[in-house]
Chain A
Amino acid sequence: MKNYLRGILKKNEFYLFMIMVLMVIVMSAINPNFGTLENGFDILRGTTFIGICSMGFLVVLITGGTDISFTATATVAQYIMALLMVSNPNIPVVFVILVPMVIGAVLGSVNALLINRLKVPVIIITIAMLNTYYGAIQFFSEGEWLYNFPEWFADFPRILLITFKNEDGVAYGLTSLTAIWILVALVTSVLLRFTMLGRKIYALGGNQTAAGREGIHVNRIRIFAHSFLGLIAGIGAIVHAMVTQTAAPNAIVGQEFNAVAAVVLGGASIAGGGGSVLGTLLGVLLIATLKNGLTVMGVPAYWHQVFIGLTLVISISVTAIREKMAKKNAGGINVES
């Protein structure tokens, strides 16, 4: 038991959690409107899209790669889905859900194929692909917004799995969309922790040469990771459209930094090989809470990025310092006195 507790103290997640608790206490003290259950659920709902996408980004980051084009992927997937619904209101539900996921997975695997083929830094490739996908959708949509989706599409996000009522009698609680996010997180967690595929993803991020020698098909793992991110971006696209009830070609791109920040804040290693679902969840929540708190306190929006940036810098420094300390304290020789 004692060992178990000590193990928790060593974990990055524990510190993130403590920071979050501290933040909530401070912000609630400053503004009592902040610390309500209703506001809590509001934060959850507001960050669902980023929360979902960050799960996919986490997987890619663990392989030692990166892929920031997922917002453009989501835009493409969302727009095509919206086109389908607008042109044919009676289109089967399965179709509406599967199409964006498949489009996401395909675009993701295109990225991976390029990365496997070209000996160009991955970040360059994905920046290029972000611009390609985004440019293409701008061109074909001519910037036109789509709305007037089928009824079920508007009804589904209103479903509450846990319901409370505020003093005005308005219901709030855990929405179906947040439940989707939790489901995605669970699946990702099982994938990473308990499947061989997940372990190979960690192995690849840890040492690519060794992964090849151990008989891991490095290229296939990379294709999987990027398709997984694409597929999840597709799910994110559906959720995003359900929240806004529109499909706008310029609504999503530009948010990729938030997901990247959340994953890194959650303790994932930029060099690959490290990171956890729990950490990422906490990272997402921390950023969302911070933003919401600043809004509630009336801090102008352009300061939000500054605060997020500072949080990121501090958290990365703390992680680095702790790692250094851990290395220092490791081992040791039993000096006879």
Chain B
Amino acid sequence: MMSEKTIELKNISKVYPGVRALDTINFEIGRGEVHCLVGQNGCGKSTLIKIMSGVEKPEPGAEIYINGELCKHLNSHISMSKGVQVIYQDLSLFSNLTVKENIAFRDNIRKKSLFVNWKEVDKIARKALELIDVDIDINAKVGTLSIAQQQLVEIAKALTGDLSLLILDEPTASLTGKEVRSLFRVITNLKNKGISILFVSHKLNEIFEIAEKVTVMRDGKIIGDFTPSELDHDRLVYLMTGMRELYKQPKPIGNDYEVVMEARNLSKNKNYKDISFKLKKGEILGITGLLGSGRTELALTLFGMNPYDSGELIFEGKAVKWTSNREACAAGVGYVPEDRLNCGLIMNQSIEDNLTITTIKSYLSRFGLINSGERLKALNTKVKELGIKFSMPEAAVKTLSGGNSQKVVLAKWLLVNPKVLILDEPTIGIDVIAKNSIHTLIKSLAENGMSIIMISDEVQEVLQNCHRILVMSKGRIVFEFTPDQITDKELLEKFNLA
């Protein structure tokens, strides 16, 4: 007889050096249920997931039942063979292997096959990608794909095996509207087949769209289970954080403010064409558009990492053609990349070292040694501002939760205090309250004279925080407006961003 519950956890605790990540959790997911797990960065969501998948062991006294069966020594092998498939927040892909091999790997392991049947691998990969309706070259190496494409490969991979529970840890963080739609379609299909879904996201509108049940976590404990009808946005935020969100529009800037950076007909083959804009001192300029609209390529150019072919870039009144990010940095441009986990952090080094790597020179004492007191002070202010949660500054960055490591990269650049700061998706995977405080911080930086370019997929984010917004599509700027000229719905419809 099939159990009514796909998974049932009793008395789960998990202690890491310096933190109690999970504190006597009891949790269950019903068959064919779409269950959402929400909570602030570092509250223990990913840890709970790793316990369900057998990657991490809970403290003694825990009981885990999968499909009604007690699993004493759960490991990733057993949990997978019982149909628990996980899409991890930091992804689990082999960047040195092709898309098709990544997708079919689990299947091959499960079958305990001795030899690889490359034809079969081909078939499995094509079928899985068809299921989620995406078109990716299955012979490409995963390492050459964009982060969004990698996310899609990961989703396809999870669909190849036996499924009774599909766990998705922030799968939509780097996806845009179109891909999120097709992911939700897949989720509904699976649900109708009786498969349970556990879904984690910091985008609360997504939660309200698909959840049948919402479990709220805070500081390693479960606050409660709710049905979406009992909740609204504000109440959910309050349950997660004990705080309320505050929004305020950025202070207007005067017409007479000087222009810091100007692009005149910037073009680069296969990247973007005829880009012109002016960025004033203290201005927050938003750039939005679909995946592959050339936003990131443009941002890299402004940061000296992707030299333009033609046109002109003017920085503080002088025409510049940077060929490396060092030159751009020296001139006063900062850049927080989109793929922060791979590009922005040294995973095995401490939080402290990572945070101060950009500014290390300013903490040198007379003899060229690091003044650790000064450094710790600088670190502590930023940690407080952004609400970074960690056990100790000496711990390696890889022990941080996903959202908190994002914040470390952000904090690192804020310490530099550049003249122009380019933020590519500054709030991916960051919880509502921290997002709120990052927005507030961005606005106060602008008020103090920093110019900011904020790239974001989230229409609401740019509308609420920018003075002016550019919409890019296929490498061109197709629209420019101020937030009072249009509502988010109109914007979405106009550019088919959803």
In the bound complex, do residue B93 and residue A210 qualify as a contact, i.e. CB atoms below 8 Å apart? yes
A213-B75 Cα distance, complex, nearest whole Å: 9
Q: Pick the interface stretch among A13-21, A31-39, A144-152, A201-209.
A: A201-209
In the bound complex, do residue B475 and residue A202 qualify as a contact, i.e. CB atoms below 8 Å apart? no
A273 nearest CB neighbor, chain B only: B96
In the bound complex, do residue B76 and residue A202 qualify as a contact, i.e. CB atoms below 8 Å apart? no
Residues of B within 8 A of A330 (CB): 144
In the bound complex, do residue A214 and residue B92 qualify as a contact, i.e. CB atoms below 8 Å apart? yes
Query: Which residue from B75, B96, B115, B292 sits with its C-beta under 8 Å from A206?
Result: B96
A334-B273 Cα distance, complex, nearest whole Å: 10
Residues of B within 8 A of A211 (CB): 94
Query: Which residue from B116, B292, B297 sits with its C-beta under 8 Å from A196?
Result: B116
In the bound complex, do residue A215 and residue B80 qualify as a contact, i.e. CB atoms below 8 Å apart? yes
Interface of chain B residues 260 through 294 with chain A (CB within 8 A): 269-273, 292-294
Query: Which residue from A194, A205, A206, A336 sits with its C-beta under 8 Å from B116?
Result: A194
Q: Given the known A-B contacts A195-B116, A332-B271, are A214 and B88 also in contact in the complex, defined by CB atoms under 8 Å?
A: no
Residues of B within 8 A of A199 (CB): 97, 101, 105, 108, 116
A190 nearest CB neighbor, chain B only: B115
Interface of chain B residues 75 through 115 with chain A (CB within 8 A): 75-77, 80, 86, 88, 90-97, 101, 105-106, 108-109, 113-115
Query: Which residue from B80, B105, B115, B272 sits with its C-beta under 8 Å from A333?
Result: B272
In the bound complex, do residue B474 and residue A336 qualify as a contact, i.e. CB atoms below 8 Å apart? yes
In the bound complex, do residue A196 and residue B108 qualify as a contact, i.e. CB atoms below 8 Å apart? yes
The interface centre, meaning the residue of A274, A332, A335 with most chain B CB atoms within 10 A of its CB, is A335
Q: Is B67 an interface residue (CB 8 A)?
A: no
B78 nearest CB neighbor, chain A only: A215
In the bound complex, do residue B114 and residue A195 qualify as a contact, i.e. CB atoms below 8 Å apart? yes
Minimum CB–CB distance for B412 against chain A, Å: 23
In the bound complex, do residue A210 and residue B474 qualify as a contact, i.e. CB atoms below 8 Å apart? no
Q: Mark B57-83, 1 if CB is under 8 A from A, else 0.
A: 000000000000000000111001000
Residues of B within 8 A of A300 (CB): none
B294 nearest CB neighbor, chain A only: A333
In the bound complex, do residue B116 and residue A335 qualify as a contact, i.e. CB atoms below 8 Å apart? no
Residues of A within 8 A of B476 (CB): 335-336
A211-B80 Cα distance, complex, nearest whole Å: 13
In the bound complex, do residue A215 and residue B109 qualify as a contact, i.e. CB atoms below 8 Å apart? yes
Residues of A within 8 A of B297 (CB): 333
The interface centre, meaning the residue of A209, A214, A333, A337 with most chain B CB atoms within 10 A of its CB, is A333
Residues of A within 8 A of B474 (CB): 333-336
Query: Which residue from A196, A202, A206, A332 sits with its C-beta under 8 Å from B114?
Result: A196
B149 nearest CB neighbor, chain A only: A331
In the bound complex, do residue B270 and residue A335 qualify as a contact, i.e. CB atoms below 8 Å apart? yes
Interface of chain A residues 122 through 165 with chain B (CB within 8 A): none
Q: Given the known A-B contacts A213-B88, A327-B144, are A335 and B94 also in contact in the complex, defined by CB atoms under 8 Å?
A: no
Q: Given the known A-B contacts A335-B476, A336-B476, are A210 and B94 also in contact in the complex, defined by CB atoms under 8 Å?
A: yes
In the bound complex, do residue B76 and residue A273 qualify as a contact, i.e. CB atoms below 8 Å apart? no
A335-B106 Cα distance, complex, nearest whole Å: 38
Interface residues on B, range: 35 or more
A202-B96 Cα distance, complex, nearest whole Å: 8
Residues of B within 8 A of A207 (CB): 92-95
Q: Is B182 an interface residue (CB 8 A)?
A: no
Residues of B within 8 A of A202 (CB): 94, 96-97
Residues of B within 8 A of A336 (CB): 273, 474-476
A202-B297 Cα distance, complex, nearest whole Å: 31
In the bound complex, do residue B96 and residue A335 qualify as a contact, i.e. CB atoms below 8 Å apart? no
Q: Mark B96-140, 1 if CB is under 8 A from A, else 0.
A: 110001000110110001111000000000000000000000000
Residues of A within 8 A of B270 (CB): 332-335
Q: Is A216 an interface residue (CB 8 A)?
A: yes
Query: Which residue from A193, A197, A213, A273 sits with its C-beta under 8 Å from B92?
Result: A213
In the bound complex, do residue B97 and residue A206 qualify as a contact, i.e. CB atoms below 8 Å apart? yes
Interface of chain A residues 297 through 333 with chain B (CB within 8 A): 327, 330-333
A330 nearest CB neighbor, chain B only: B144
Residues of B within 8 A of A215 (CB): 75-77, 80, 106, 109
Q: Is A89 an interface residue (CB 8 A)?
A: no
B474 nearest CB neighbor, chain A only: A336
Q: Is B53 an interface residue (CB 8 A)?
A: yes
Query: Which residue from A195, A214, A335 sits with its C-beta under 8 Å from B105?
Result: A214
Q: Is B360 an interface residue (CB 8 A)?
A: no
Q: Is B364 an interface residue (CB 8 A)?
A: no
In the bound complex, do residue B93 and residue A213 qualify as a contact, i.e. CB atoms below 8 Å apart? no
In the bound complex, do residue B115 and residue A205 qualify as a contact, i.e. CB atoms below 8 Å apart? no
In the bound complex, do residue B55 and residue A212 qualify as a contact, i.e. CB atoms below 8 Å apart? yes
Minimum CB–CB distance for A308 against chain B, Å: 27
Minimum CB–CB distance for B170 against chain A, Å: 16
A205-B95 Cα distance, complex, nearest whole Å: 10
Q: Given the known A-B contacts A203-B94, A206-B94, A209-B92, are A214 and B271 also in contact in the complex, defined by CB atoms under 8 Å?
A: no
In the bound complex, do residue B271 and residue A195 qualify as a contact, i.e. CB atoms below 8 Å apart? no
Residues of A within 8 A of B88 (CB): 213
Minimum CB–CB distance for A215 against chain B, Å: 4
Q: Mark B38-59, 1 if CB is under 8 A from A, else 0.
A: 0000000000000001010000
In the bound complex, do residue A196 and residue B113 qualify as a contact, i.e. CB atoms below 8 Å apart? yes
Q: Given the known A-B contacts A196-B108, A206-B96, A215-B76, are A335 and B114 also in contact in the complex, defined by CB atoms under 8 Å?
A: no
Q: Is B365 an interface residue (CB 8 A)?
A: no
Residues of B within 8 A of A335 (CB): 269-273, 294, 474-476
Q: Is B192 an interface residue (CB 8 A)?
A: no
A210-B476 Cα distance, complex, nearest whole Å: 38
Residues of A within 8 A of B86 (CB): 213
In the bound complex, do residue B55 and residue A213 qualify as a contact, i.e. CB atoms below 8 Å apart? yes
Interface of chain B residues 290 through 309 with chain A (CB within 8 A): 292-294, 297
A215-B90 Cα distance, complex, nearest whole Å: 17
Minimum CB–CB distance for B464 against chain A, Å: 28
A337-B475 Cα distance, complex, nearest whole Å: 10
A195 nearest CB neighbor, chain B only: B115
In the bound complex, do residue A333 and residue B53 qualify as a contact, i.e. CB atoms below 8 Å apart? no
Q: Is B391 an interface residue (CB 8 A)?
A: no
Residues of B within 8 A of A331 (CB): 144, 146
Q: Given the known A-B contacts A273-B94, A333-B271, are A203 and B76 also in contact in the complex, defined by CB atoms under 8 Å?
A: no
Minimum CB–CB distance for A6 against chain B, Å: 13
B478 nearest CB neighbor, chain A only: A336
Q: Given the known A-B contacts A203-B105, A215-B76, A333-B294, are A194 and B115 also in contact in the complex, defined by CB atoms under 8 Å?
A: yes
Residues of B within 8 A of A198 (CB): 116
Q: Given the known A-B contacts A195-B116, A212-B55, are A333 and B293 also in contact in the complex, defined by CB atoms under 8 Å?
A: yes
A35-B82 Cα distance, complex, nearest whole Å: 63
Residues of A within 8 A of B475 (CB): 333-336
In the bound complex, do residue A196 and residue B109 qualify as a contact, i.e. CB atoms below 8 Å apart? yes
Residues of A within 8 A of B146 (CB): 331
Residues of B within 8 A of A203 (CB): 94, 97, 105
A47-B294 Cα distance, complex, nearest whole Å: 52
B53 nearest CB neighbor, chain A only: A213
A196-B112 Cα distance, complex, nearest whole Å: 8
Interface of chain A residues 176 through 230 with chain B (CB within 8 A): 193-200, 202-203, 205-207, 209-216
In the A-B complex, list the 6 residue pairs whose CB atoms are closest, starting with the nearest: A332-B270, A273-B96, A210-B92, A335-B475, A206-B94, A206-B96
Which residues of A pack against B, CB within 8 Å? 193-200, 202-203, 205-207, 209-216, 269, 273-274, 327, 330-337
Provide 5 A-B residue pairs closer than 8 Å at the C-beta atoms, listed in order of the A residue.
Answer: A194-B116, A195-B114, A203-B94, A273-B95, A327-B144
What 6 new A-B contacts, CB under 8 Å, besides A214-B105, A333-B293, A333-B297? A199-B105, A209-B92, A214-B106, A330-B144, A333-B271, A334-B270
